Each structure stands twice: as C-alpha cells, then as structure tokens.
Amino acid sequence: QVQLVQSGAEVKKPGASVKVSCKASGYTFTSYGISWVRQAPGQGLEWMGWISAYNGNTNYAQKLQGRVTMTTDTSTSTAYMELRSLRSDDTAVYYCARVKLPLIFRGLDPWGQGTLVTVSS
Amino acid sequence: DIQLTQSPSFLSASVGDRVTITCRASQGISSYLAWYQQKPGKAPKLLIYAASTLQSGVPSRFSGSGSGTEFTLTISSLQPEDFATYYCQQLNSVLTFGGGTKVEIK
C-alpha cells in the first residue's frame, strides 16, 4: 500500500537548522510530488510548499522563501525538507503528503505520520 | 494570496444530524478545492477533491459542492467517528488552508 514514513522528533535551538525526511513506498516515486504542511500546537494547517520528484521543481510558500529547501533522492524514494534559522514559532508538527503534479486539484493523499520539531533554547 | 474563510469555526452536533460546513474564497478558484478530516494526534485525511469528488474509500455520507468562491462540505448523517476537525484547502499553485471547523458531540 502507498505509505509515507517520516523521521523522528527533533529538538533544536533557535538559529539552528532541521532536516526532516519522508520515505515513500508502494508507488512510483517519480510520478508524483511531495508537499509539506506544518501545524503549530493547537493551530491549523499551514502549507509550506511542494517538490516534483520527477524533475525537482519546487514551489514554496512566500512566507518561508529563503529559509526552506525541499529536495528528493530518487534512488531511495525519499523527500527532505530543510528549514533554517529556526525560531520558536517554527515549533510544529511537520507533515509530508503525496501530490499528483501537475494535477494538484486531486489534493494531498496520503500523508506521513508527522514529525514534531521543537525549537527551544 | 487567496484567503479561505471557514464557518463556523466550531459546531456542536448529535449523532444522526445533518452537518454543513462552508468555505469561502477571497477570489474565484473554480473547483480547485479539497476537504480534509483531522482527528487529534493524527495526520489529515483527504475526503473530497475538485470540490465534489469523493476520495476512494470515503463514506458516501460525505459530499461536497460549490465552485468559484463558495463551497460546502455536508455530512448527511453524523456518525460517532466523524467528530473531528475539518479543513478546506484551495488547490491552485499556492495550496492554502482554511482555518478549520471543529465538530464536537452535543
């Protein structure tokens, strides 16, 4: 079955970077993209961006431009999201989700289990 | 950027009730809208895409409608497992979410 498995929880200090991984299985990795979404404690969902696993094209949320980089490793069917210059308000659960590019209208499905990133001094 | 406004943000309902959630876009987005269900501590789950297409495996009591700037998610007969938070998401190149609607037991 189609599955996305994310890396474990992270604790980082302000100003540091974090890199979260998302390993895909059960489908042809390069036929889809991966989108990243985060959710601060008790808050709603915030879309961060997506990357095409086919050609590496990216589309980032304007708010995160310059701090976020999304990459893929097609040899291991794994997507990565790196966030730099971490602040306390980056504390959130980070999710990856599969997206059928360019058919974005089909939504995000399935989702990974989430990775808690805590930013604290 | 296109903003999505969900209403209500909270609703209290009983098992068997018909429930309707509204999502309004700040500008027209055709039918590029999805609905997700999220339970506490879990990842969101896709229910509906393209405004009205039911995702495979989702019960038929869920339905979506609308186009342009106004959309609705309807649960025809609320079941115990449907108590959750629901989000709409616009599916243009920037995939913003609505603020969410929490459905709780009356």
Averaged pLDDT, B23-32: 95
- Contact: B94, A107; criterion CB under 8 Å: no
Determine what percent of chain B is predicted with pLDDT higher than 70. 100
pLDDT tens-place values along chain A, 121 residues long: 999 999 999 999 999 999 999 999 999 999 999 999 999 999 999 999 999 999 999 999 999 999 999 999 999 999 999 999 999 999 999 999 999 988 888 999 999 999 999 999 9
Q: In sequence order, which residues have a C-beta less than 8 Å from that of residue A35 and are 6 or more positions away?
A: A47, A48, A49, A50, A96, A97, A98, A99, A108, B95
Give CA–CA dist A76/B27, Å, rounded.
Answer: 40
Is B76 an 8 Å CB contact of chain A?
Answer: no
From the CA of B61, how many Å to the nearest CA of chain A?
Answer: 20
Mean pLDDT of B42-51: 97
Residue B93: pLDDT over 90: no
- The DSSP bridge pattern shows strands A78-83 and A68-73 to be antiparallel
